[in-house]
Amino acid sequence: MKRDSRKESRKADGGASAADSAVQEPTAHAAFASYAAPLVSDAIGFANAVREDPSPEALHKLRVSLRRLRSLWWAFAPLLEKGENTRQRALYKYLATAAGKTRDWDILIELLGQEDSGARNLAPKLEQARGDALATSRETLSNADVKHLLRDALTSASTEINTTHERVPLSKFAGKRVAASERSLLKRAKRARRAKTSNYAAFHGVRKAGKKLRYLLEFFQPVLSGSHKRTLKRLKQVQKRFGKLNDIVASEMLLRDNASLFAGSGDTDAVLHWLHKERKRRMRSAAGLLRKL
């Protein structure tokens, strides 16, 4: 990743060649809507699908689309009024959390489907809790009027960006934002390497920063210099391994927070013990990957 960062810095700081000057490069301002509009359309489509499709996949797609929107708004933050950008990113987080409440139960159910989890008698109660969460998720998303909220956010951001006078070449802008995201990841990785293996917050910070950098590279790859395939591959490894750790931590917390739903079930203690062992194992696995960042 450090090699990629140097390439981006050279591109961001260097002047354009004679050949490049002959071609009018698009500006970041002009390109914003071309990135944002498809993401908004996808998120609206996934939100509509959740009303009809109760499957874990539908909720997962909605949550991912909203996370990508948050990352895009972060990328274009220098061109947006700070307060409005913060409010819009908070909106995407709120909607993703609404979808995530059901998704968390899906993850817990999937984890406890493993034979050694000790969850022999919890399945009916887990499914009931998942059904209740789905009803709440659907109600929240319906009341939020996702379609109009996201379209208004897109219109507001597009208008603001295109009324600013300064124009920045897209490649230069993208290079700087990717470099900033990469610095954030490396800083968080350094902090996590120094932290105790029980410090999940430090590991979670790496996961979030890695996800943001991955999304930015996927957005801007066509206008960035050099190849980023190696970096993307490494980021996918981080996301997969740290995501498995997050699944365990979130599931353990969900089970503890809803202990009253499973009162009288002797399996609960066994399941919590299994989740605790899994968390320690996955923390060690994540720590091993940190050394390669």
Which tens digit of pLDDT belongs to each residue from 152-184? 999 999 999 988 767 899 999 999 999 999 999
What would the pLDDT profile of 87-139 be if each residue is shown by its tens digit?
Answer: 999 999 999 998 888 989 999 999 988 767 767 778 888 899 999 999 999 99
Do the beta carbons of residue 110 and residue 244 sit within 8 Å? no
What mean pLDDT is predicted for residues 79-89? Answer: 91
Residue 15, pLDDT above cutoff 80: no
Query: Residues of the chain with pLDDT > 70: what percent?
Result: 90
What tokens does 243 get? Answer: 């995501």
Domain that holds residue 220: 2-12+28-290
Average pLDDT of the chain is 87
Band of residue 246 on the pLDDT scale cut at 50, 70, 90: very high
Band of residue 21 on the pLDDT scale cut at 50, 70, 90: very low
18 falls within a domain: no
What mean pLDDT is predicted for residues 53-71? Answer: 91
More confident residue, 284 or 8: 284
Which domain CATH number covers 131? Answer: 1.40.20.10
User: What is the pLDDT, as a whole number, of residue 94?
Assistant: 93
Query: Residues of the chain with pLDDT > 90: what percent?
Result: 59
Residue 266, pLDDT above cutoff 80: no
CA pseudo-torsion sign 253, 256, 259, 264: positive
User: What is the pLDDT, as a whole number, of residue 51?
Assistant: 84
What mean pLDDT is predicted for residues 18-44? Answer: 83
The number of folded domains in the chain is 1
22 falls within a domain: no
In terms of C-beta distances under 8 Å and separation of at least 24 residues, what long-range contacts does 12-20 make, across chains too? 12/172, 12/175, 12/176, 12/179, 16/169
Residue 15 is classified by DSSP as P
Beta-carbon contacts of 167 under 8 Å, excluding residues fewer than 6 positions away, are 27, 28, 29
What tokens does 284 get? Answer: 């060690």
127 falls within a domain: yes
224 falls within a domain: yes
23 falls within a domain: no
19 falls within a domain: no
More confident residue, 55 or 46: 46
129 falls within a domain: yes
204 falls within a domain: yes
User: First and final CA of the chain: distance in angstroms?
Assistant: 7
User: What is the pLDDT, as a whole number, of residue 7?
Assistant: 46
User: What is the pLDDT, as a whole number, of residue 52?
Assistant: 85
